[in-house]
Structure 1
Amino acid sequence: MISGDKRLLAERWFSEYFTEGNLDVIDELTTEGFIYHSRNGENSRRSMVDFMKWYRSVFHDDVWVLDDLIEQGNKLVVRYTGWMTYKGGWFDIPSENQRVKETGIMIFTFEGSKVKEMWCENSDAGILYDLGALKKNTHEVF
């Protein structure tokens, strides 16, 4: 059973932060010392705001589904699927208003009722493939 507070936070993360692009919600949902662990190192709340400004300029009309939520102690794991329309601005990939799909897993670590740390693994390569930035039929997809 997932606690209501953690489920609500995950729902707000996707609906208010991603879909609406509400930058203020980051301060509401995360601790002051929040860290997002990415392949490029550690990122702060400010990095998340900067990312969303870029994201909203590149993708529109998001729809997100929280496929699975798994809670253990102070962690919540969310497996998600999202669909969005590409409007241009990513690696000089031309826009044809392509509808693309992203899948991923986020792991939120809570301190009290807020997120202290987050990890995310997603399907950016799949999106690049859908947008034609990666050549088709050059590798097997399983």
Structure 2
Amino acid sequence: MISLDKKQVVEKWFKDYFTKGNLEVVYELTTSDFVYHSRNGENNREKMIDFMKWYRSVFHDDEWVIDDLIEQNDKIVVRYTGWMTYKGGWFNIPSENQRVKETGILICEFEDGKVKEMWCENSDAAILYELGALEHNTHKVF
């Protein structure tokens, strides 16, 4: 069974941080020593705020669905799907107001009811393919 408090934190992350771009929610939902582990190294709250400012300038009209939640000890794993409209500003890809889909898996480690660490693997390459930035028919899609 999923802890209600952890589920509510995750739901608020997608609803307020991603969908609404509410930057204050980062401080509300994460610990002061929060770490986001990314391909580019470790990031803190301020980097998450910088990311969201960029994201909101590039994507709009988000819709997010939490497909699965798995909890073990102090961690919760989220499989999610999102749809958003691309408005331009990513790798000089021209905008045609394309609707794109992202899928991903987010892992949150909790401490005292807040997210202390976070990991995310998502489908950025698939989004680039949908936007035409990756050449079609150059690889198989499974």
When the two chains are superposed, the root-mean-square deviation of aligned CA atoms in Å is: 0.3
Residue 102 of structure 1: aligned partner: 102
CA offsets per residue over residues 43-87 of structure 1, 9 Å max, x none? 000000000000000000000000000000000000000000000
Specify every segment of 5 or more residues in structure 1 that has no aligned partner in the other structure, as ranges: none
- Aligned letter for 1:21? G
- For 1:39 and 1:52, how far apart are their aligned partners in 2? 17
- What secondary structure is seen at the aligned counterpart in 1 of 2:67? strand
- Aligned letter for 1:113? G
Residue 31 of structure 1: aligned partner: 31
CA offsets per residue over residues 27-48 of structure 1, 9 Å max, x none? 0000000000000000000000
Residue 70 of structure 1: aligned partner: 70
- For 1:15 and 1:121, how far apart are their aligned partners in 2? 19
Shift of the alpha carbon at 1:112? 1.1
CA offsets per residue over residues 76-131 of structure 1, 9 Å max, x none? 00000000000000000000000000000000000110000000000000000000
Aligned length: 142
- For 2:39 and 2:50, how far apart are their aligned partners in 1? 17
- Aligned letter for 1:25? V
- For 1:9 and 1:88, how far apart are their aligned partners in 2? 30
Residue 55 of structure 1: aligned partner: 55
- For 1:50 and 1:71, how far apart are their aligned partners in 2? 29
- What secondary structure is seen at the aligned counterpart in 1 of 2:83? strand
- For 2:112 and 2:89, how far apart are their aligned partners in 1? 38
- For 1:141 and 1:60, how far apart are their aligned partners in 2? 26
What TM-score, normalized to structure 2?
Answer: 1.00
- Aligned letter for 1:49? I
- For 1:91 and 1:54, how far apart are their aligned partners in 2? 12
